[in-house]
Structure 1
Amino acid sequence: MDEIEKRISSFVQLGQFLSQFSRTEIAAKAAIAHNDIFFDGFKHQLKLAEEHNNWFTRENLLFACESWAKALTEENINTWISKEKLLSTSNQKVAIVMAGNIPLVGFHDFLAVLISGHSVIAKLSSNDKHLLPFLAKYLEYTNPDFKGKISFINEKLKGFDAVIATGSNNTARYFEYYFKDKPNIIRKNRNSVAILTGEESENDMESLSEDVFRYFGLGCRSVSKIFIPRDYNFDSFFKGMFQQQEIIQNAKYANNYDYNKAVYLMSEFDILENGFLMIKEDESYASPIASVFYEYYDNTDDLKIKLYEDRDQIQCIVAKDFLENEIPFGQTQHPNLWDYADGVNTLNFLSNI
């Protein structure tokens, strides 16, 4: 087995390990490597992550585990890397500045750096600091070659050859200045949108509710804005959203809902709401928690032009038979390994540094 195959095998084993942690049950499976050392420990890390960050509910933590378990198959990884020429080994050290908005949000960059043969220096967000270091230890057990190639730091980054950094538009300006002398990928704020026609089925709208509410709408792949025709009737939209009504039971979400509703009412904005979600007409893409913006369109050609012009602000477009690269309703939080954030091919970048 060559070096690349060994790295692939390690991540496949990690996927099998994560498959034991699902929303339906957490149960050890026979023949999973190193379960005696890591299974109970990862259960504990999930508990710590939930206690540390109120946005990281058990449901969302396990959803993230499920998603990565499905992604980390030998077939998926081989399909992903097939178009790039990976190095058997590398002396390059790649720094990753990770966001912390959703569980394991930095894992794709972490995976890409290691599968490319480089070493990773990860600066974790304080909001998401429990899971990845533990999973890194699992990888080191499956492949001792990873030892010495993975480090997590809290202090200032140093001794790196390239960097991948994710943050807000404000922090991105700092990143662009600070990392200007190194090969880099700098990611900024992005949001996802849905294109509605009024012809959507009940199932479409219920599926869209997953795109809106998964991770409380905190992910860049979460739908924060809808585009609708002038004569759109919101009844079907709110009916589809209704199956997510239990979200208001989360205290942190409820506080944001109450606060943002108060702001809208005091500002005398026109809003529609159903007790756990507000919608407001607004040209912006980034809506506050517990709200979705909407904007009218008069014809689809003009809308396509607008979306193209605003492409640097948009992560995903949810639609049905509207655009070539659209995402089906309910699928924004199920990206393939080759669905890159901001449309920037991370693996190609890492293969050429």
Structure 2
Amino acid sequence: MQTANSFISAFARLGDFLRQFPEGEADGEGEASAQLSELNHTHKDAFAEIIETEHIFNPWFTKDSVLRALSGIAQMLKPEVLRQWLAPYDLTPPPARLVRTVGLVMAGNIPLVGFHDLLCVLASGHRVLAKLSSKDDRLIKKVAEILSDIDPALGGHIELTDETLKGVDAVIATGSNNSARYFEYYFRNMPHIIRKNRNGIAVLTGEESEDELYRLGEDIFTYFGMGCRNVTKIFIPDSYDLTKLLGVLDRFSHLNQHHKYGNNVDYYRTLYLMNQAPILDNWVLLLKEESAIASPVGVVFYERYSEIGQVQEQLDLHKEEIQCIVSNLTEISGAIAPGETQQPMPWDYADGVDTLEFLKELV
């Protein structure tokens, strides 16, 4: 039976292994260092090769994007972070007869996007049956293999498949608004969490420093803007000069050299110009005035406001479309600072639904 301490120990070792790729191999000694050396002997070269070649299988998964994802997961897997996350739940491993099989339908929009769901299911003591996305199957398979090597008991609770989920007791499915309707129907007779499209938004005051605007750029451009926590819409004061923001975001101009991203920007620039839609353009990002929350890759929508109450009304109206909010305004409940959208902790649950509490209630 898996205990909280053994769970934390296993995932902390996984975190140490993953951390060395974005941060470099740390000097160390003792048992932890010996354990990492053992993992490296078996897995490091193969994992490094996956990182280097992932862009061949999915052009959006550049080396920089994969390393960014690994860095975020490694931060999440620090022992003190895991203890802080699990402490409020008073988790007791369920007896064998109450262990459930939880189906995971994983997305493939950013590298290892389904990892947190796998982490939650294993923390709850249940079994994972995960249907992988064809866009992101190599990384998660290797991570599961490494975890199984670290702790065979945990590995025995993981099954990965490319087939339709069958024989599951509950489901956590992530997809588009269209696929969510299918999931809601198909899994209607069992406990489920169904996630739809969501995006990040930012509320600016005009008082942000150049450094804060640059960090907002990271919230926009990381993973080419394809994550549910990427900022796709900004609210700005009526008098806000967007040329200042575009000037700072010029620092991300290298992204235009990525053929798929650059093609996306070119496509929407052409489309908007043909439709005579006003846009601002710095050749790596298009800004378009629009009331919608979700924008295409390479485009950020903006909307002006005269008082913050107007923004709050829009946030309430679109709350089912918003994953996170970036702002320095204290009036905006739950807002985070610029640059933090892609650094979620284990307790930052997608769509605000407590995944671990949901899993606890399956027993």
| TM-score (normalizing by structure 1) | 0.96
Give 1:266-345 correspondences, 5 Å limit. Answer: 266-322=274-330, 323-345=332-354
When residues 26 and 61 of structure 1 are mapped into structure 2, their CA distance, relative to the original with a 3 A threshold, is farther
Does structure 1 retain, via aligned residues, the 8 Å contact 2:129–2:159? yes
Unpaired stretches in structure 2, ≥5 consecutive residues? none
User: 2: distance between equivalents of 1:147 and 1:271?
Assistant: 51
1:214 aligns with 222
Give 1:86 shift.
Answer: 2.1
1:73 aligns with 78
User: 2: distance between equivalents of 1:3 and 1:340?
Assistant: 22
Q: In structure 2, the residue corresponding to 1:21 is in which secondary structure?
A: helix
Match of 1:231 among 239, 256, 266: 239
1:39 aligns with 44
Letter of the aligned partner of 1:321 in structure 2? L
Give 1:84 shift.
Answer: 1.3
Unpaired stretches in structure 1, ≥5 consecutive residues? none
User: 1: distance between equivalents of 2:218 and 2:257?
Assistant: 17
**Which structure shows the bigger proportion of residues in helix conformation?**
2
1:83 aligns with 88
Give 1:2 shift.
Answer: 6.1
1:11 aligns with 11
Q: In structure 1, the residue corresponding to 2:89 is in which secondary structure?
A: coil
Q: In structure 2, the residue corresponding to 1:19 is in which secondary structure?
A: helix
When residues 62 and 27 of structure 1 are mapped into structure 2, their CA distance, relative to the original with a 3 A threshold, is farther
Q: In structure 1, the residue corresponding to 2:21 is in which secondary structure?
A: coil
Residues 193-234 of structure 1, C-alpha deviation per residue, up to 9 Å, x if partnerless? Answer: 111111111111111110010000000100001001111111
Letter of the aligned partner of 2:171 in structure 1? V
Give 1:1-353 correspondences, 5 Å limit. Answer: 3-22=3-22, 25=24, 30-31=33-34, 32=36, 33-89=38-94, 90-322=98-330, 323-353=332-362
Letter of the aligned partner of 1:201 in structure 2? S
Give the paired residue count.
352
Letter of the aligned partner of 2:147 in structure 1? L
Does structure 2 retain, via aligned residues, the 8 Å contact 1:221–1:315? yes
User: 2: distance between equivalents of 1:204 and 1:53?
Assistant: 31
Does structure 2 retain, via aligned residues, the 8 Å contact 1:87–1:351? no
Letter of the aligned partner of 2:222 in structure 1? R
Q: In structure 2, the residue corresponding to 1:102 is in which secondary structure?
A: coil
User: 2: distance between equivalents of 1:53 and 1:25?
Assistant: 25
Does structure 1 retain, via aligned residues, the 8 Å contact 2:110–2:227? yes
Letter of the aligned partner of 1:40 in structure 2? D
Give 1:268 shift.
Answer: 1.1
Give 1:25 shift.
Answer: 4.7
Q: In structure 1, the residue corresponding to 2:117 is in which secondary structure?
A: helix
Give 1:292 shift.
Answer: 0.4
Give 1:267 shift.
Answer: 1.2
User: 2: distance between equivalents of 1:296 and 1:313?
Assistant: 19
| TM-score (normalizing by structure 2) | 0.94
Please report the RMSD computed on the Cα atoms of aligned residues, expressed in angstroms: 1.6
Letter of the aligned partner of 1:243 in structure 2? R
Q: Percent same amino acid at aligned positions?
A: 45
Residues 221-272 of structure 1, C-alpha deviation per residue, up to 9 Å, x if partnerless? Answer: 0000100111111122112211111100111111111111111111111111
